[in-house]
Amino acid sequence: MSTFTLEIVTPDRKFFEDEVEMIIVRGTEGDLGIYKNHSPLVTSLAIGRIKIKQNGKFVEAAIAGGYIEVDREKSTIVTDSAEWPEEIDVERAKEAKKRAEERLKHKSKSEVDLIRAEVALRKAVNRLDVVDRYRK
C-alpha cells in the first residue's frame, strides 16, 4: 500500500515522524480520513484522538487541538500536546476531570473561566477515553 509522511510536532518534542498508510483525525468539522494524494487542505483539529495506520495496524494517540496541514506526499500536525496511551497519567486525568466538573458547577464564574474549564474537561475525558480503548 502506498504511504505518505506524517509528522506530528508539539512544543516540547517531535512526537511522530514516519511513513504511514492512513490517518484518521478529528477536525473541528468532524472526522477526516487521509490517504496518500489527498488534496492540499488545512484545518483546525478538535481535542480528540488520532488513528494512525501503519503496516495494516492502527495505533491511537490523544491530541489536544492544533491544526493539520495536508499535502499530497506529507501531512503535518502541529498540536499543543500529544500522548500515546501508555504515557497518559490516568490519575492526573481523573483529577483534572473532577476539578473541571466542579468548576463548571459554580456558574457564577465569568465566561472565560467556563470555557477554560470546559476545555480542561474535554482534554481529561479524551485522555481517559484513549486509555480505555487501548486497554480493551
Partner 1 sequence: MPQAMRDIKRRIRSVSSTKQITKAMELVSSAKLRKAREKLERTRPYFNTVVRSIQQILSSTEGIRHPLLEKREIKKTAYIVVTGDRGLAGGYNSNVIKLVENEVDGNKENTVIIAVGLKARDYFARRGYEIGGEFLHISESPEYSDAAKIGKLVVELYKEKKVDEVKLLYTHFKSAISFNPEVLRLLPAEEIKNNNDVKRNTLIEYEPSPEEVLGYLIPKYVQSAIYGGLIEASASEQGARRNAMQSATDNAEEMIEGLKLKYNRARQASITQELSEIVAGADALK
- 93 membership: H or E segment, kind and range: helix 90-105
Q: Are 127 and 100 in contact (CB under 8 A)?
A: no
Edge-to-edge strand list for the sheet holding 30-34? 30-34, 22-27, 47-54, 57-64, 82-83
- 47 membership: H or E segment, kind and range: strand 47-54
Contact range with partner 1 by CB under 8 A, out of 9-17, 55-63, 83-91, 103-111: 9-17
Contact range with partner 1 by CB under 8 A, out of 27-35, 52-60, 93-101, 110-118: 27-35
Residues 62-101: x where in contact with partner 1 by CB under 8 A, - otherwise, as a string = -----x-x------x-x-x---------------------
Of these, 18, 19, 33, 44, which contacts partner 1 (CB under 8 A)?
44
Distance from CA of residue 121 to its chain's centroid?
A: 14
Determine if 60 is a binding residue for partner 1 (CB under 8 A): no
| Distance of alpha carbon 16 from alpha carbon 76, whole angstroms | 10
Contact range with partner 1 by CB under 8 A, out of 3-11, 18-26, 46-54, 121-129: 3-11
Determine if 129 is a binding residue for partner 1 (CB under 8 A): no
Instruction: Specify the residue for cell string 494512525.
Output: 52
Contact residues for partner 1, defined by CB under 8 A: 7, 9-14, 27-29, 39-44, 67, 69, 76, 78, 80
